[in-house]
Amino acid sequence: MIDDIKAELERKCPKTVSCADILTAAARDATILVGGPFWEVPFGRKDGKISLATEANLVPHGHENVTALITFFQEKGLDILDLVTLSGSHTIGRSTCSSVMNRIYNFNGTQKPDPSLNVYFLKLLRKRCKTELDLVHLDVITPRTFDTTYYTNLMRKVGLLSTDQSLFSDARTAPFVEAFATQPFLFTSQFSVSMVKLGNVQVLTRPNEGEIRVNCNRVNTV
């Protein structure tokens, strides 16, 4: 889909809209399509001149503790409220079972499941996750709707990733989880704010900092 959007833009206004801007706008529009909020997307980003697969892996992987998550976000200029808010994007989407195998079979090397898992949710995950490549919904209750069920799931101990569930067990983040679970408008309004902040992390805007890619899959040839 991103390739189709880029191809159309190159036909209408070549070398004008970056792939970074396309991705940022697409994230907003996809959110709206599943019932989420609108937010203004600032444009003018440049694409990087280097593509490294290892850089795409510099994100939380679902097993970090809350302190590590807070540190990761703070290094990007995002705070604890942004952490809990943006984690709410797990209201939609799926994860491979490889991210939860340790929780359901061998938590912290104990050969037992994570004790924080709801027992019925544990049985469901063991049924769904026969291999590490199987897929499971991040929000088992309303997987295709942008809502606050993600947060009520955490309060019921049915958060899929340990990074999700730990947000409710840590005193620094739990109050935000409770607030969003009980006040949906608070979540949607803050989600818009946090997504704008996220969209402004490490952007390239100066002429010598990047380029407008012609093809989003590769850097431009000289």
Task: List pLDDT tens digits, range 19-28.
Answer: 999 999 999 9
Q: How far apart are CA 20 and CA 15, in angstroms?
A: 13
Residue type, 204: L
202: left (phi over 0), alpha (psi -120 to 50) or beta: left
CATH topology of domain 1-48+204-222: Peroxidase; domain 1 (1.10.520)
> What pLDDT is attached to residue 60?
80
> What pLDDT is attached to residue 211?
94
Per-residue pLDDT tens over the stretch 182-222: 999 999 999 999 999 999 998 988 878 899 999 999 999 87
pLDDT-derived band at 128, boundaries 50, 70, 90: very high
User: What residue ranges do the domains of the chain occupy?
Assistant: 1-48+204-222, 59-199
Q: What is each CA distance from 38 to 20, 43, 201, in whole angstroms?
A: 19, 15, 19
Predicted confidence (pLDDT) at residue 54 exceeds the cutoff of 90: no
Q: What percent of the chain has pLDDT above 90?
A: 86
Do the beta carbons of residue 24 and residue 45 sit within 8 Å?
yes
Per-residue tokens: 56: 């795409």
Predicted confidence (pLDDT) at residue 58 exceeds the cutoff of 80: no
Please, what's the b/e burial string for 117-144 (b: 16 or more CB within 10 A of its CB; e: otherwise)?
bbeebbeebeeebeeeeeebbbbbebee
Task: Provide mean pLDDT across the span 46-67.
Answer: 84
Per-residue tokens: 19: 């792939």
Predicted confidence (pLDDT) at residue 31 exceeds the cutoff of 80: yes
The CA-to-CA distance between both ends of the chain, in Å, stands at 26
Task: Provide mean pLDDT across the span 169-174.
Answer: 96
DSSP-assigned beta bridge partners for residue 47: 211
Q: Count other C-beta atoms under 10 Å from residue 165's C-beta.
A: 20
| Closest among 90, 66, 67 to 168, alpha carbons compared | 66
Superfamily of domain 59-199: Peroxidase, domain 2 (1.10.420.10)
> What pLDDT is attached to residue 43?
93
Per-residue tokens: 107: 């938590």
Per-residue pLDDT tens over the stretch 136-164: 999 999 999 999 999 999 999 999 999 99
> What pLDDT is attached to residue 6?
97
Predicted confidence (pLDDT) at residue 127 exceeds the cutoff of 80: yes
> What pLDDT is attached to residue 52?
81
Within 8 A by CB and 6+ apart from 180, the residues are: 84, 85, 88, 148, 151, 186, 187, 190
CA-only gyration radius of the chain, Å: 19
Check residue 219 and report its DSSP letter. Answer: P
| Closest among 25, 20, 52, 19 to 38, alpha carbons compared | 25
- pTM (two decimals): 0.91
pLDDT-derived band at 64, boundaries 50, 70, 90: confident
